[in-house]
Each structure stands twice: as structure tokens, then as C-alpha cells.
Amino acid sequence: MLITVLTLFPEMFPGALAHSLPGKSLGKLWELRVINIRDFATDKHKTVDDTPYGGGAGMVMKPDVVDEALRYAISLYADVPEIIYMTPRGKTFKQSTAKELSGNKAGMIILCGRYEGIDQRVIDYWKTNHSMREISIGDYVLFGGEVPAMVVIEACLRFNSGIMNNENSVEDESFANGLLEYPHYTRPALWNNIEVPEVLLSGNHKDIANWRLEQAEKITQELRPDLWTKYNRT
Ligand code: SAM
């Protein structure tokens, strides 16, 4: 899978993605290409932004520069990748989005904004003509799309069974079946005078599976009533 990131701060990558399982498999099971949007500016000052029409604070990323960067990125793919613009006003990123995006074996292109964001015309053009998606990682505003892009990439890589040590773990995790995950315990069996739940020491796989499901349901009901309502409905 080839993941291309378009950013004004290419030195931020691979960043967190260079560590642990994503890092170990980088260059083997997935490729990361980082493109500096500034390389597509045409004037001698390499200008990538300008003041907003209508006035107001901040700067806006120029449509011509972003369009050239996107055109170059897509030209490097033989098959059609997912194209994503990270933006607070996008659809909220979920585990189901990660699963869907990771299903595209061609990979993805992720466009990171900065400043006040990107000129609306280039966003509309790429949404209409290249099915670009707008994705948000939550209802808050960050300085740029780079950290959100890393969030999306990490979540998608977890659906690559080659990258994960244990293929089952994604299926077992929070959100996979609409529930939060059951609690985990490890040695020592007695810590701070608190024992590990007895059933986990029993060796009875059926009882353990039942206990884990009960716990997942209880935790979801307590912590995420929104998920619990949906789970009950289905
Ligand atoms: N003026 C924009 C607004 O009010 O919606 C915020 C722009 S933000 C300072 C600059 C860039 O950071 C955005 O273009 C986007 O790429 C990225 N960004 C910030 N918060 C984000 C979020 N919650 N999810 C995804 N991307 C985000």
C-alpha cells in the first residue's frame, strides 16, 4: 500500500510512524511518500498562501499550488487511491472509516491543510472530479493536518494483517463489533492486594469468552451510552 502525504511540513514525517509495528514494516509492507506542497509554487518566493478575500484573520492556501501538488501525487499511482483532505469540518473519522479506507489496495493520498485552510475552489474541484473525501479526527481545531493524517494512517495500518502481529486483534478490539473492549490483566495475579478476576485463571475458554463479552457490554453501557443504544438496535 502506498500512502502519500501532501504537506507544507514534510520533516514531520514519518514521525510517530517510524516506531513500533508501523515503523518496522515501513518500506516492506507499506510505503510512505511525503510531498512538499511548496515545491509546486511557481513564483520565486515559493508562495503557497495569500490573504483571504473578504478580509479576516490568517492566510489561505492557494488553489493553483494545491491542485498541482495533488495532480502530481495522483500521477504516481497506477490504480485509483483514496484522496482525503484532513479538515475539522469533514466526516468524523471512525474505526469503520479506517477499515473502509484500508480496503483500497492502491492506497491513499492525504492532503494536510495549514493556516486558515485551503481555497474552497480546489476542494470542490477535487471532491467533484476525484471523489476527494473530507475527514475530521474530532470536534476541535489543530494547527495543521499532519497529526490528523498520522492518526488516519495508523488506524488504517492496523487493518493490514501483515503489519499486525496477530490478525485477530483488530477483530477483537473496541468498535469492531460495536462494543468497547473488555478489560485486560497480566502478571502478577495479586497486585496491591487486588486479584485478577478468577475466571481468567480458570483455563475454561468458553467461560472466559462469556465473561469478556459481559464485561464489554457492561463497559460500553457505562462509558458510551451512544454506542450501547446502537448495539442494542442491531
Ligand atoms: N479555519 C479552519 C476552521 O475553522 O475550520 C481551521 C484550519 S486549521 C487551523 C488548519 C488545518 O489543520 C486544516 O486545514 C486541516 O487540514 C487541519 N485540521 C485542524 N483540525 C483538524 C481536525 N480536527 N481534523 C482534521 N484536520 C484538522
The answer to whether residue 50 scores a pLDDT higher than 70 is yes
Q: Locate 7 and state its grid cell.
A: 504537506
Q: Where are the domains of the chain?
A: 2-157, 174-233
CATH of 2-157, picked from 3.40.50.300, 3.40.50.880, 3.40.1280.10, 1.10.260.30, is 3.40.1280.10
Confidence of residue 167 (pLDDT cuts 50, 70, 90): low
Q: Ligand 1 pocket, 144 CB below 6 A?
A: yes
2/23 Cα distance (integer angstroms): 14
pTM of the model: 0.96
Who's near 40: CB < 8 A, 6+ residues apart?
Answer: 65, 66, 68, 69, 72
Under 8 Å between Cβ of 33 and 3? yes
90 alpha carbon to ligand 1 midpoint, in Å? Answer: 9
Q: Ligand 1 pocket, 137 CB below 6 A?
A: yes
Stretch among 58-72, 79-93, 132-146, 151-165 having the lowest mean pLDDT:
151-165
Q: Ligand 1 pocket, 148 CB below 6 A?
A: yes
Sign, CA dihedral 11-158-147-53, equals positive
The answer to whether residue 29 scores a pLDDT higher than 90 is yes
- Of the residues 5, 9, 86, which should be mutated to test ligand 1's pocket, given the most ligand atoms within 8 Å of the CB? 86
Confidence of residue 161 (pLDDT cuts 50, 70, 90): confident
Confidence of residue 172 (pLDDT cuts 50, 70, 90): confident
CATH 1.10.1270.20 assigned to 174-233: yes
173/94 Cα distance (integer angstroms): 13
Count the neighbouring beta carbons within 10 Å of the beta carbon of residue 28. 9
The pLDDT value recorded for residue 168 is 59
Query: Which atom of ligand 1 is closest in space to residue 117's alpha carbon?
Result: 14
Task: Look at residues 40, 43, 44, 103 and name the one whose alpha carbon lies nearest to residue 73.
Answer: 40
Q: Ligand 1 pocket, 37 CB below 6 A?
A: no
Confidence of residue 164 (pLDDT cuts 50, 70, 90): confident
Q: Ligand 1 pocket, 57 CB below 6 A?
A: no
Confidence of residue 190 (pLDDT cuts 50, 70, 90): very high
Task: Look at residues 177, 178, 97 and name the one whose alpha carbon lies nearest to residue 138.
Answer: 97
Query: Which atom of ligand 1 is closest in space to residue 140's alpha carbon?
Result: 23
The answer to whether residue 216 scores a pLDDT higher than 90 is yes
Kindly state the average pLDDT of the residues 114-138: 98
Q: Ligand 1 pocket, 138 CB below 6 A?
A: yes
Under 8 Å between Cβ of 32 and 3? yes
Task: Give, in order, the Cα–Cα distances in Å from 90 to each of 47, 84, 85, 95, 106.
Answer: 26, 10, 8, 15, 22
